[in-house]
Chains A and B, each alone.
Chain A
């Protein structure tokens, strides 16, 4: 146990630790016989996978409902899908209708009417921002210096600003190259 703070030696450091420790502090408000459920620490991937599976099972039911209860094309409009800007164009819908199978059509309509009544349930995954469509997301910056990068090294796929940076790139090892690519999310991921 190495003391980190200044002005402390072994003896008063131990005293400090005793003061800070909350393991020995009485916690009367904890239910003594409560045991946490096993394996409650799940990683985010797991939690999200479970949540989306749950969502998917709801979607599946919607899909079933489509096959078993064909509805007249306009009924969902009548039930309140009227005002959403997305489905304003009825003509489009009818053209699309011919090309789609019935179940997906009903699914879509269900979703839309749901949208009218407050939108699909908001979930952790579906509020995530979508990929950018803005042209600025295509801007290229030098992987090494961050300046604008008109060039790309075909060998390492690194973007670079000028020939001096290029010379530096050429002296980089494999690991460093991958590191730079990883910082831009363009590295090769082996699975």
Chain B
């Protein structure tokens, strides 16, 4: 590399000197098949039922291992291919990088995540991936389920549906005893010892910014930017497709990702760097050449020797032919000479003979008279001389004797028939001769004219140089314009809608149509096409493609060269640089630098055609995280987001200074070279001058999320955050179902009741409370975590009475509404009850009865105690009023029970009968007991399903319960069938 300054690099012509061949040529990566992964059951053997399986469920890679592992045991992309091979009549299922081992598998592979988002939307694939994880972790599965807790990462603010479906799979399909979800970037932050900080996590599908204070994420300030490594790769692919529209190779998604990873970096000063990116100086270092595989077109190269031999052979053949011809000519010549001899002797012999004898001899040889013989001899002599000349090679130029045409001057009357014929021949010959002479003269004149023109031109140049130059320049401009016009026309013809193309089509249609407007009469078939030479021009205008203009183009460029040569010679201002060739030289072309780097491009070479040059893309692609508008993302870039959080949203936070000191980078997309520095510089620019600023990167931005999750899972304190299978089965994914009912009851405009909510788990209860309070802030609503065991229920009732919100308030309505579902083939049903993770479960038959029916019993008893305590014990007959209402929410299972619902049916029916006996006993004491049969699902929302009568809304149920509680003793509903309009009976 010799040149370091632009001056050095450019030749006097103003062209840049071509660079030496690229120092390094990159190639595309191979499909990332990682080989067969053996089952690793060592971890399973080492684990106890409390050891969690930790799965970092990322959208680029799923990493899995045991909570005691220092690093994940393995990782795989969330891909699955499942297909049936018809030939083998067998179904195949491949997961992770295994799909790259086979073409069909690769074609069939699907991603668990919706492309471009961090939401799982293909659950079949997700199942396959989890299958793979559990197989490779060597789970025994003798119990028919995964007997280890699962810790899984999920995106920030995961959608309810995604989490619900994931829980459904983990609990119902795999039978996991308990599951915990966490956010990957926070696990990573935790692992890196963060306490107060701003987590900036740029990962595969999205980028998140989350402030953390005192180890608690402030999720309400969390912000997501929909851009990650995946989008970068996609963007690069899109740019390359546009850059090389006719690129013959193919760059797959994984290859594009590798290209981004390997070649892209974050520019420290994007604006100025991108504008200098295609400069000639140093372009060879900035431009990365990626060579895609190609097949060289084979041109059989003959060796020098072979070529020589072939030429020799050809020559040999020619010589032989020549020899033959010469031989034949010689034979002919000899024959002719012999003939000549004969005629000469004939002539000699005639000299002294009488006329009669002469005539006889001449007649014998077909001569009319002696003159004819004489001519014949002359002719033959001439031809023999010619032939001899040719053969011998000494071409003595025959002096051109001006032919004479004597007969022409003789009047016709004086000639006999023979004479007339000869005269005609001579006249013909004369006119031929004259024409040749004229042409010759014409040529001479033309030559003279050109010489004269040149002389005049030179004269003019010498007298008026500027005018001459001006003229030439105009001519040159005209030719250039013509060339450009032709190029444009060519381009226009490629565009179907262009004017040029449309007029061409019109011309073709006109040519093809038979009648040109006029009706032709019979016989008048000739349309006169071609009578005028210009008519043929129409074929010129409709012809496209290579052959049509080539000649003319050649002509134009030859003309141009000519004029430019003249200008170069005589115009002092016209230098080598001003020639069109120099101006359109590829080394000066920005587009060439963009497309092909600082190297020449040969459109014939397969090697060049299969090359991709990465230059501006190297900083353009990763820049999007900082300036999303580049890729048309209408969102703020990470610096703006981070600055907004730090300077505005956290303006009053006591932890702000500490957060500023710890800006934490994690996720694979932050691995670009220069990311940290750029972020530091830009943040520094927007933050107040004196504020402290610390930026650090996770020790391992890719694996730390998993490590954090594993470390967290192995801490005993994390146990509380697990959702157990029992929870799931009892309450389902939708804890908040009770919310709608409670909202209506407590709402000032509806029930305006003080509501005490009882539920088994405190966290969802608190969430519920928060949401209820936010929607109706003036209601009285308290939550009491409890389970259905007699002791805790009793304690809870006592607590409620003690609570200051309920002081002096009387119990009016008690609702027992518990999700209880258990479906199991009867022979698999187990009898005994047991505890799991500290809770009794509904897993078993007796356990189910105990929790559900036993709970109903205690709940009713405690409620009744309350009613009597609050309202006294006077019966209706004694003049007492209605004391209150107890509602049991049942289901159809209480009346008719489907197969495999033994525990469920028994429980539901029991509670129904409990309600009945209570009603009989308590009604006259003023207690209204209701059993409702909720036939269909109740959800706390008011959407399409509710409008169309497919599902009940919790609020509607709440209103019904309110109405039930308001019934006076003159009419009491005991059993009520609740169903959405479209539920089947």
Contact = CB atoms under 8 A, between A and B. Distances in A.
A79 interface: yes
B774 to A, nearest CB: 3
Nearest to B172: A34
A21 B93 CA distance: 5
A110 B775 contact: yes
Contacts of B156: 122, 127
A69 interface: yes
A30 B278 contact: no
A94 interface: no
Nearest to B116: A44
B185 to A, nearest CB: 13
Contact of A20 (B98, B160, B241, B631): B98
B275 interface: yes
B631 A183 contact: yes
Contacts of B747: 65
Given A4-B106, A132-B628, A132-B640, A148 B122 contact: no
A51 B93 contact: no
A105 to B, nearest CB: 14
A164 B589 contact: yes
Contacts of B775: 58, 61-62, 65, 110
Contact of B175 (A16, A23, A31): A31
Interface string B137-174: 00111111111000000011111111001001100111
B632 A16 contact: no
A173 B94 contact: no
A22 B636 CA distance: 44
B275 A147 contact: yes
Given A41-B124, A85-B651, A134-B640, A69 B95 contact: no
B617 interface: yes
Contacts of A51: 159-161
Contacts of B620: 141, 146
Given A47-B121, A127-B224, A170-B491, A30 B131 contact: yes
A182 B217 CA distance: 37
Given A23-B92, A29-B139, A183 B235 contact: yes
B653 to A, nearest CB: 11
A132 to B, nearest CB: 4
Contacts of B33: 4-5
A48 B128 CA distance: 24
B222 interface: yes
Interface in B115-132: 117, 119, 121-124, 127-128, 131-132
A110 B776 CA distance: 7
B219 interface: yes
A113 B777 contact: yes
Contacts of B36: 16, 19-20
Nearest to A28: B141
Interface string B770-793: 110111111000000000000000
Contacts of A13: 102
Interface stretch (B9-17, B402-410, B565-573, B941-949): B941-949
B494 A114 contact: no
B286 to A, nearest CB: 13
B636 A130 contact: yes
Contacts of A113: 774, 777
B1 interface: no
A184 B174 CA distance: 44
B652 interface: yes
Contacts, number: 288
B633 A48 contact: no
A102 to B, nearest CB: 14
A133 B629 CA distance: 11
Interface string A77-102: 00100010100000000000000000
A36 B123 contact: yes
B175 A17 contact: no
A120 B629 CA distance: 29
B24 interface: no
A118 B773 CA distance: 11
Nearest to B588: A164
A73 interface: no
Contact of B632 (A53, A124, A183): A183
Nearest to B272: A148
A36 B956 CA distance: 29
A54 B940 CA distance: 8
A129 B174 contact: no
A180 B631 CA distance: 10
Contacts of A141: 274, 620, 630
Contact of A147 (B242, B277, B497, B641): B277
B159 A127 contact: no
A188 interface: no
Interface residues of A, number: 99
A57 B942 contact: yes
Contacts of B545: none
B222 A127 contact: yes
A21 B94 contact: yes
B235 A128 contact: no
A147 B770 contact: no
B635 A128 contact: yes
Given A54-B941, A85-B652, A131-B636, A185 B774 contact: no
Given A23-B91, A34-B173, A57-B943, A17 B119 contact: no
B225 interface: yes
A145 B277 CA distance: 10
B825 interface: yes
A134 B773 CA distance: 37
Given A61-B743, A122-B222, A148-B274, A42 B121 contact: yes
Contacts of B589: 164
Contacts of A171: 491
B220 interface: yes
B397 to A, nearest CB: 60
A40 B165 contact: yes
A81 to B, nearest CB: 9
Nearest to B119: A44
B146 A40 contact: no
Contacts of A127: 156-157, 208, 219, 222-224
Contact of B242 (A118, A128, A136, A180): A180
A126 B223 CA distance: 8
B591 interface: yes
A64 B173 contact: no
B239 A129 contact: no
Given A1-B103, A129-B224, A129-B641, A185 B631 contact: yes
A27 B141 contact: yes
Given A51-B161, A164-B589, A132 B637 contact: yes
Interface in A104-158: 110-111, 113-115, 117-124, 126-134, 136-139, 141, 144-148
Closest 9 CB pairs of A and B: A185-B632, A114-B774, A119-B220, A29-B141, A28-B141, A23-B93, A57-B942, A68-B749, A2-B103
Interface of B: 31, 33, 36, 82, 85, 91-95, 98, 100-106, 114, 117, 119, 121-124, 127-128, 131-132, 134-135, 139-147, 155-162, 165, 168-169, 172-175, 208, 219-220, 222-226, 235, 238-239, 241-242, 245, 271, 274-275, 277-278, 488, 491, 494-495, 497, 589-591, 594, 616-617, 620, 627-637, 640-641, 651-652, 743, 747-749, 767, 770-771, 773-778, 825, 940-944, 955
22 contacts: A1-B103, A13-B102, A17-B92, A34-B172, A37-B168, A57-B943, A65-B747, A65-B748, A69-B749, A85-B652, A117-B774, A122-B219, A127-B208, A132-B629, A133-B636, A139-B271, A141-B620, A147-B277, A171-B491, A176-B242, A182-B632, A185-B634
Interface of A: 1-5, 13, 16-17, 19-23, 25, 27-34, 36-37, 40-44, 47-48, 50-51, 53-54, 57-58, 60-62, 64-65, 68-69, 71, 75-76, 79, 83, 85, 110-111, 113-115, 117-124, 126-134, 136-139, 141, 144-148, 161-162, 164-165, 168, 170-171, 173-174, 176, 179-180, 182-186
